[in-house]
Amino acid sequence: MANQEHLHKKHCGVWLKLVPTVRNGLKTFRFSTLNDMQDKFLDNWAYKLAREYSYRTVKAYCYAVKRFLSYIFALIELEGGISSQRLQEALHAYESYLVFGVKSDNEIAKKIAIQIGSPNLTAGSVISHLAAVNKFIDASEQLHRALEELESKGAILSRNLTGFTLEASVGTAVTSIVRAALKRNTWLGACIAGGAHRIKRAGLRPVSKQSEIAYMDEFGGDEKTFPIDKCVELIESATSLRDKVLWSLLSASGCRISEALTMLKEDIDLMPRTLDKKRIYIVDPSARRDKLIEFIPEATINQLPYKGRDKPQTFLIEPFASLFWKYLVEYLREEKKKDTLRGGGGHHGFLIRNLLTGEPMCLSYQALLERFQKAAFKATGNSYGFHSLRHMYGYYLANHCPNPNANSRRAFGLDLQLVKQYMGHIDINSTRKYAREDVQMLHATVAASNLIRMSGGPQNVRQTQIAFLKRELLRLEQMENAA
């Protein structure tokens, strides 16, 4: 047993490696499994991902596949090989392994978990994990079909393998030679022996659809929303002008942190005739790669995330907009002085810079987040991330912003299509989560059906809602007086 554990650690812990690398200007990963042909396939699969997705997605997918291959290779080690049928059984057991590990009732899942540990993933994590693995299985099956077709004709040429490159030494071969070259104890060998079917979720479901009602707090949001009446205090507590500018920008515009970190100074209209004409624009980094290359290398440009927006314009809300314009002028003046002392380190177009070196911070999310979290906890006593400011912005627009549409039935809360545009959402369903009825109001409406039957109380739903709002107004006034 000791020898078996040593053997397993050697194979799954040492030779199954995932190494960050750069290929043709794209940050990607290389796999090491001690099988050159298999590694070639995995490397090209990762590179193809890097050409289509952000680096964060590529990293998540590659690590998901690494865990998946560790699972398959552990079974190969335990059983001395893997047949096509056993592969399908292992795929069927994979979800159980991810969730239950050593507690799984499945023989394969439990046996492997004993050897390499239990992941114990949540339902949401499993769903994203399986999405990555299924994309990998699709690519493997694509290779399987290509090889089968070429083998049936008695020749295999690397340039014909639908975008996946095998070793040139394969050359021309018959089926038996190709299968021997792949070796029986590899993922590709098992896949090509019979193909691999996608993993279907058996017991897990995505998170339930968000309710259209919510327990809104006194600040007009939920637990994910930064308290709007604490936001000015938060911004003014920042210990650097850079952070004051960043936090007020996120609060005023509702932009994503990734959009703020890739913003250039030229995206800000600082010189309009009147204050209300000042504008901030959010631009897709891929639309100006030729300009960004002057400041940052290609590999960094290729990593810049961008979720997409219908229009680049933003809608700024007060009082955070005024704070932004105020601190921006002071910040730019300070940075200009620093640039003269940096010897060129700060000569680039990005708005958000490293405090010491002046370098761009377009991929420095974690360093900025820690400063924000510390200040947010001090101001509120609760933990918040940057996205809480975007939630605050969305809730304000959808529920509390004065509605300029005279034909709307709502005096407060913009029309959802307008909120969608300002939030930069592609799908209106992403916007609807911000426009939700307060559950307290729902309780008042439901209670009306009982009150109508009782003498001396409101006689219809509208009267019940009015009575409820009057009580709420009195409660809020008492809270304000006591503050």
372 in a structural domain: yes
CA 7 to chain centre: 37
Q: Is 97 found in the same domain as 55?
A: yes
Amino acid at 393: Y
251 in a structural domain: yes
Q: Give the domain-ending residue among 167, 194, 221.
A: 194
pLDDT of residue 456: 56
Q: Give the domain-ending residue among 416, 432, 448.
A: 432
131 in a structural domain: yes
Q: Is 457 found in the same domain as 414?
A: no
Question: Is the bond leading into 297 cis (omega within 30 degrees of zero)?
Answer: no
pLDDT of residue 158: 38
Q: Is 136 found in the same domain as 264?
A: no
pLDDT of residue 174: 33
pLDDT of residue 326: 94
The closest alpha carbon to 244, from 311, 160, 335, 306, belongs to 335
150 in a structural domain: yes
121 in a structural domain: yes
Q: Is 445 found in the same domain as 400?
A: no
pLDDT of residue 449: 58
CA distance 398 to 413: 4
CB burial class (10 A; 0-12, 13-18, 19+) of residue 57?
middle
pLDDT of residue 179: 45
pLDDT of residue 418: 86
Q: Is 233 found in the same domain as 174?
A: no
Q: Is 381 found in the same domain as 298?
A: yes
Which residues of the chain carry a pLDDT beneath 50?
A: 1-14, 155-184, 455
Q: Is 302 found in the same domain as 349?
A: yes
**Under DSSP, is residue 163 helix (H, G, I), strand (E, B) or coil?**
coil
The CATH number for 414's domain is: 1.10.443.10
Structure-token match 């439901």, residue found? 446
At CA 114, angle to CA 187 and CA 124, rounded to 5? 70
Contact 362, 270 (CB under 8 A): no
User: What is the pTM (predicted TM-score) of this model?
Assistant: 0.65
Per-residue pLDDT tens digits for 369-411: 999 999 999 999 989 999 999 999 988 888 878 877 767 766 7
Q: Where are the alpha helices (H) located in 195-319, listed in sequence order?
A: 231-237, 241-253, 257-261, 289-292, 298-301
Structure-token match 């001395």, residue found? 80
Q: Where are the alpha helices (H) located in 51-106, listed in sequence order?
A: 55-79, 84-100
323: domain range?
213-432
Contact 424, 283 (CB under 8 A): no
Total domain count, the chain: 3
236 in a structural domain: yes
Structure-token match 């490696």, residue found? 17
Contact 133, 199 (CB under 8 A): yes
CB burial class (10 A; 0-12, 13-18, 19+) of residue 202?
exposed
Q: Is 134 found in the same domain as 28?
A: yes
Q: Is 149 found in the same domain as 7?
A: yes
Structure-token match 């100074």, residue found? 265
204 in a structural domain: no
34 in a structural domain: yes
Structure-token match 């039935």, residue found? 409
Q: Is 293 found in the same domain as 339?
A: yes
Q: Is 242 found in the same domain as 167?
A: no
Q: Is 442 found in the same domain as 426?
A: no
